[in-house]
Each structure stands twice: as structure tokens, then as C-alpha cells.
Structure 1
Amino acid sequence: MSLVTEKLPITVVILTKNEEMVVARAIESALNDYAEVIVLDSFSDDNTVNIARQAGAAVIQEPFKGYASQRNFALKDMPKSNEWIFFLDADEMISEPLTAELRRDFAQIKSGNFGMGYVRRKDFFMGRWIRRSSGYPTWFGRLCHASSVRVEREINEEYRCDRPVMRLSGHLLHYPFAKGVSYWMERHNRYSTAEAVEKIRGVKSGYGLIFSHDPGLRRKGLKQIYMRLPFRPLIGFLYLYFFRGGFLDGKAGLRFALLRTFYELLISIKYDEMVAERSEAENRK
């Protein structure tokens, strides 16, 4: 077999819970080029598991305790054939340029003692790439040397790596509305509750992280600043729609920015509600 047709020695892991509408497309984007594709399923009660197997993926089921817990299970405990893992969400696809880049550079990544590769996403909505209102580019840790990476924070996870990290130039293709706007709103209603809980727990300030060379740590520092801003939802909308040029994305850009603002507003309202409830509980003591 020629080197061109050999599969990359990487295990692609797709987390699922009732993803029958989108999982096949995610699998297909990886199946021909990566040595192993595993769907790590949280006991879906739809047809996700059957569709995944029919599409050619292996399926392992693990009870869901949180996104970080699932990813750490994949990194540390899940049976797999490779020491390198690429995390792919069910509503994403690996682009051909990203696969070509990994084919070209993977040997160098291993020999360079890297432990993780960050990847950007292209978010699609209403049939187009939302380049501006999505806040592009945002970097996500996805290519992981299993023994060198750990994942923290159960919602909007944060990656920690014991080795140097790198940025990949290829993209993931992200379709957050592939299951409809109603599903997006239901999911972000859950996410906003988790974010409010994280905020009320309090996080030690790490503003110095904004100067880190690690994209993940820099993003954490910026987020800590952003989450403390007054009128955060309004500021977020003005930033995305005007400062970042979201108005150039047309109707799709406006709607995307408004949906992002709605999500931030939910976090703020739920946080205030939790603070009030905690204060009332303390006053009753």
C-alpha cells in the first residue's frame, strides 16, 4: 500500500447522545483517512448507535457525567488502537484540507514532541459560513496525545497539556443548527444553566493568561474578563455585529449574533436568580 492511501494512526472520537440526524456525516468525514473511528455514546435512546455502526464506526457506551469526564475517559480509559486522539463533535466534519495537513505533517508533530493541536471551526448557518458574527477565529483543542492531555470544566471544556502545543491551519466544519433552531435553543438552555453554576462557584482570576502562547489558556483568560463585564450580553452583541463586522454576514449574521446574545442573556439571568436564591437561603438560617 502506498503512503498516500495509508490511514493516519489517529483515533477519531465522536461523543454522542441522541445524534441520529448528524452522526453519519461526521463519521463519513473521517472514516477513509483515519485508522479508527469510535463513537463514544452516552446510551442514546434513538437510532444513533445503529446508524453509527452502519456507517462504519465502532461504538463504546459510557454513562454521561459531563463533557470533560467523557473526554478524559476517551483519553485515559477507553480501549483504542492509537496513542493520538482527534475529538470530533457529532455536528462537525473534518475538512479535506485539515486531513491533508495531518497527512503531510503528522510525522513532524510526533517527532517535535507536541502534545496537542488546536483547530479553528467554520460555523455554518442558513447555508453560509458565518465568519464574522461567530467570532472567528476561535481555537479548540482537538488533536491530543492521550497520555499528555487532560480536560477540565464539564461545560465548554478546557484542555491542559504537558507538552508543547501547536496550531493546525485546516478547519473543522461546524453545523450547529443541523438539528434545527429549536434543538439549538434547548441545548443552550441547558448550557446556560451549567455556565451560571460555574460562574456562581467562582473561578480564581487568571487575567495573566491573556498573554499565554497557548490558545486555550489565552481564551480562558479572555473569558474570565468577559464574564465579569457589566451589560455583557449587549457588549457581546455590539462586539460581534459591529466591531467584528457581523452586519456583513447579512440576515444570517444578524440572527446568529442575536442568538449568541440570547445565550449570554440566559446565563446572566440564571446567575442573578441563583445569587438571589442563595441569599434568601442564607437569610433564612
Structure 2
Amino acid sequence: MNKIPISVIILTFNEEKNITACLDSIGHHFEKVFMVDSGSNDDTLNIVKNYPVEVIQHPFENYSKQRNWAFKNLPIQTEWILNMDADHRLTPEIITELAFQFKQGISQSINGMLASRKTLFMGKWIKYGGHYPTYHAVIFRNGKGFCEDKLYDQHFKVDGEVLKLNGDIIDLITESLSTFTLRHDKWSGLEALEQFEKQKINDATIKGSLTSKNPIAKRRYIKNIYERFPLFVRPALYFFIRYFLRLGFLDGRRGLIFHFLQCFWFRFLIDAKIYELRKTRNENK
């Protein structure tokens, strides 16, 4: 099979547990694979030596800046870019679909492609609770997409029409509950700060719209509504909707752990940190 004319970009930092399976899922199907590493000191770089990957080192400031730096500075020769993290896996179905799409020819009106994330948590596919399918614009023409300038919950914004793919990208949401809680503790602080500072919508962010054909814009619209609800009330409502009304309970015991942590605990922690920021501001007045 001819190589798919896409450059894959993977961001890494100490990903020795993930990078082998990630690169194995990519295989030799794509024109070029870049890895932008931010100073890994585990075995990540030694593992990558066994694969046809070009490694570039760049200090990490935040996810958005790292992605957008890569788009501007990597020697990308292909017209299309696929963005991955080390804990992502390409399914055989999406590789076959991409090969077919490019063999058939992509319309010039299409500048991006949406793929759904298939979340695996503690080895189980989280299928319910509104968590699948959730589409992300992970593929776009070089120069026609960028990462939102946000501290957390960043999405890729595409200039132009997008094509929705049927194949999935597997997202290993965590390697352990300890890793999950540590990461979400960090992310809750970033999200709390953005909500506290009430970051304004601009051309570098995706505007929420219920009528948009873009599923990311629809999710952003719903999130904007969520943020108008009172602190500490909204996490309980969100968990109730996702777990009961959207059938998250069908995901079983591991689904209960995931939905409770992701839909309630994480968002309650965000609210607690917003409350802390407000309290500190009022005390300093």
C-alpha cells in the first residue's frame, strides 16, 4: 500500500509506557512521523530510535503553544497533518479509511477531518454517558488549522469545511488512577484560572453554536451554558445527566469510576479552585 500523504506529529514527555504502542499503531502507513519531545529523561528517546521517526526537542510551555510551534517550525513537506499524543492509538479502520479517502481524492473544499475518540479507561471502552462518539478535528491541511490558545480543553480550529471520518482514534485516558487524579488536579487548576479570568472568545478560539455543523462548536455551546450555573451545583447536575439520563451506568463498575471522577469530582475540584481564587481576590482588596 502506498504511504498516506500525511505528516504525523506526536507530542511527548517521558512516555516510555505509551510510545511503543502508539508508534506501532501508526506503522509505516504515513509519509512522515515527527515527535516533538520536551526533554524526556526516561527511556522514550531510546525506544524511538527503533522507528522511522524524526525527533525534535522543544521546551514545553503549554499544549497550545507546543502544537502551534510544531506547525510553524517542523520541516513538514506534506499537505496534510495528523495530530496525536503518545496515549493515542490509530485503529486499523481509520488507517484503511484514510488510505481510501486519499486514493479517491480529497475535495479542495475540505480542509480538515474529524475523528472520534474511543476512550479506554482501566481497559474498558467508555461507550455511554455521551462520551462516544465525540469528534475532534485532528487532521487538517498544512496552514489551514491551529490549536486554540487556551490553557485547557483546547481543540484544533480548521479554516474551512471538514469531513467526518467513521474510524476511531483510541485514547487511553489513564495508565492508573493515581496518574488520572494527578493529571486532572493539574488540569482543574488551569480550567479554574481560565473561568476565573473569564477568557474572552476571539478568533483563536472556537465559538459555541448550537446550529453549527461542527460538533466541537456544539459542545462548546453547551459548556458555555454549564459555566453559567452556580458553583458546586453544576457538577452534580452534570453527573446526573451523563450518568443517568445519558446512560453512563451501562458502562458498569469501571464506568461508574470514570463517570464519577470525570463528570463530578474533576468539575467539583474546578469549582473549589474557582472559589479559592475568588476568596483570595476578595481578601486582597
Does TM, normalized by the shorter one, top 0.5? Answer: yes
Matched, 1:256 2:266: no
> Contact 1:9–1:35 at 8 Å: present in 2 too?
yes
Counterpart-to-counterpart distance in 1, 2:91 and 2:198: 37
Amino acid aligned to 1:125: F
Structure 1, unaligned runs of 5 or more:
none
Matches within 5 A, 1:17-28: 17-28=13-24
Instruction: Tell me the equivalent position of 2:198.
Output: 202
Aligned residues: 277
Counterpart-to-counterpart distance in 2, 1:49 and 1:207: 38
Amino acid aligned to 2:183: R
Counterpart-to-counterpart distance in 2, 1:134 and 1:23: 28
Query: How much has 1:83 moved relative to structure 2?
Result: 2.3
> Contact 2:138–2:156 at 8 Å: present in 1 too?
no
Instruction: Tell me the equivalent position of 2:119.
Output: 123
Query: How much has 1:111 moved relative to structure 2?
Result: 2.7
Query: How much has 1:219 moved relative to structure 2?
Result: 2.0
Q: Out of 165, 168, 173, which is 2:170 matched to?
A: 173
- What do the CA deviations read for 1:89-116 (whole angstroms, capped 9, x no partner)? 1111001111111111125563333111
Matched, 1:154 2:156: no
Instruction: Tell me the equivalent position of 1:103.
Output: 99
Counterpart-to-counterpart distance in 1, 2:33 and 2:130: 28
Instruction: Tell me the equivalent position of 1:233.
Output: 235
Q: Secondary structure at the match of 2:50?
A: helix
Change (3 A) 1:34 1:271: same
Counterpart-to-counterpart distance in 2, 1:208 and 1:160: 12
Q: Secondary structure at the match of 2:8?
A: strand
Counterpart-to-counterpart distance in 1, 2:52 and 2:280: 49
Counterpart-to-counterpart distance in 2, 1:137 and 1:73: 29
Instruction: Tell me the equivalent position of 2:216.
Output: 216
> Contact 2:10–2:83 at 8 Å: present in 1 too?
yes
Amino acid aligned to 1:233: P
Q: Out of 36, 40, 49, which is 1:40 matched to?
A: 36
- TM-score with structure 1 setting the length: 0.91
Counterpart-to-counterpart distance in 2, 1:109 and 1:272: 52
Amino acid aligned to 1:217: A
Let me know the Cα RMSD of the aligned residues.
Answer: 1.8
Q: Secondary structure at the match of 2:41?
A: coil
- TM-score with structure 2 setting the length: 0.91
> Contact 2:137–2:157 at 8 Å: present in 1 too?
no
Query: How much has 1:6 moved relative to structure 2?
Result: 0.8
Q: Out of 269, 272, 277, which is 1:274 matched to?
A: 277
Counterpart-to-counterpart distance in 2, 1:25 and 1:132: 25
- What do the CA deviations read for 1:21-61 (whole angstroms, capped 9, x no partner)? 10111111112211111111111122212212223322111
Q: Secondary structure at the match of 1:14?
A: strand
> Contact 1:53–1:59 at 8 Å: present in 2 too?
no
Q: Secondary structure at the match of 1:55?
A: coil
Q: What is the aligned-residue identity percentage?
A: 34
Amino acid aligned to 2:151: E
Counterpart-to-counterpart distance in 1, 2:283 and 2:166: 51
Q: Out of 134, 151, 158, which is 1:138 matched to?
A: 134
Change (3 A) 1:255 1:13: same
Query: How much has 1:226 moved relative to structure 2?
Result: 1.6
Change (3 A) 1:235 1:99: same
Change (3 A) 1:100 1:235: same
Counterpart-to-counterpart distance in 2, 1:127 and 1:208: 33
Structure 2, unaligned runs of 5 or more:
none
> Contact 1:24–1:55 at 8 Å: present in 2 too?
no
Counterpart-to-counterpart distance in 2, 1:208 and 1:93: 29
Counterpart-to-counterpart distance in 2, 1:251 and 1:136: 18
